Amino acid sequence: MEFTISNRRWLVAGQPEPVNPNFALGLHIPGRFDKILDIDSCHIQPEIGNRITAVVRETAIANGLKPYDPKTHIGFLRHLAVRFTHGGDQVMINIVTAWENPDGLAPVVTALTDAFPQIKSIVNNVNTRRGDTAFGEKEILLFGTPTITEQLNDLTFEISANSFFQTNTRQADNLYQAVLTGANLSGEEIVYDLFCGTGSITLFLARQAQEVFGFEIVPPAVEDATRNALTNGSTNAHFQVANLDSFFRRPDNYSNLPQPDVIVIDPPRIGIHEKLATSLPQIGAQRLVYVSCNPTTQARDTGYLINGGYHLAHLTMVDMFPHTPHIETVAVFQRN
């Protein structure tokens, strides 16, 4: 869960007094970048998460830590992100601030570690930019280890604060099985995994492919993926940092790699850049497996791929977020 910390609290009619209008730790009001609804209880995170947010809120206010103002860009505390492993035995806290001040965060760290032995990692991401993001230019380890460990199927993954990993771990296993089915591997294929994150899909593929090459723009995620391959004994999985918007526009960037038989794509909600979409047919893979959390952008990108010489052969839906309108889709494309 990722919460925003702001001095612009959305005040609810009939809310019991007293209410501090200048501190909110919660979620954005729909359609408003500047108003945050203070959250006491979030039902889609484990109960320990609600107690953690309460401790952060109380300790920050008691120690005069000022929330960030999205309009004036003044203030220290910007975001609180909390990761939980599937078993609930490991928790990672990511406190995002507008500048570096470990001493200022020390009371929060002490309060959290005293109250919650499940916390294995507390990091501080420093985001000095005006953009409203929980990623920082610098990461400081305040407590414990820089990663937590998650189990998915029979694979073990170390996850750092800025690395993407599927939130619904149980259902992720079904999603990855759908990817494997779409890839239709015999053990002889070369596979490229684009937007590979911490290597979760890559390592699933590596068990049934000859070699898999993962590409990802976030360096900490590539470090996690490389470490995860070693942990799981996947000697045929390789990873590199690459800006996928432009990487495959230049054949010399990947001329030292074997040509892929299958390409797996799992981009963020914005889909794939048009430059990447038009580059994919030039790489020569016979099959593409496109995993999407946004059918709208996937539909747009399907047009690019069809124009590039592929046809849509199969489409599978996986419900990663029950009771919401969101759906994950796995599209399989074959070269004409």
Q: Which residues are catalytic?
A: 293
Angstrom CA distances, 82 to 29, 49, 86, 95, stand at 20, 7, 13, 9
| 140 CB neighbour count, 10 Å cutoff | 16
Structural contact between residues 23 and 57, judged by C-beta atoms closer than 8 angstroms: yes
Give the C-alpha separation, 193 to 289, whole Å: 9
Q: Which residues pair with 26 in a beta bridge?
A: 4, 38
- The answer to whether 191 touches 185, Cβ cutoff 8 Å, is yes
The rounded distance, in Å, linking the Cα atoms of 263 and 268 is 16
Instruction: State the Cα–Cα distance between residues 332 and 316, nearest whole angstrom.
Output: 9
Place of tokens 């796995």: 330
Q: What would the two tokens of residue 25 be? A: 């730790």
3-state secondary structure 158-213: EEECCCCCCCCHHHHHHHHHHHHHHHCCCCCCEEEEECCCCCHHHHHHHCCCCEEE
Tell me the backbone φ, ψ of residue 276, rounded to 5 degrees.
-70, -45
d(CA 65, CA 101): 11
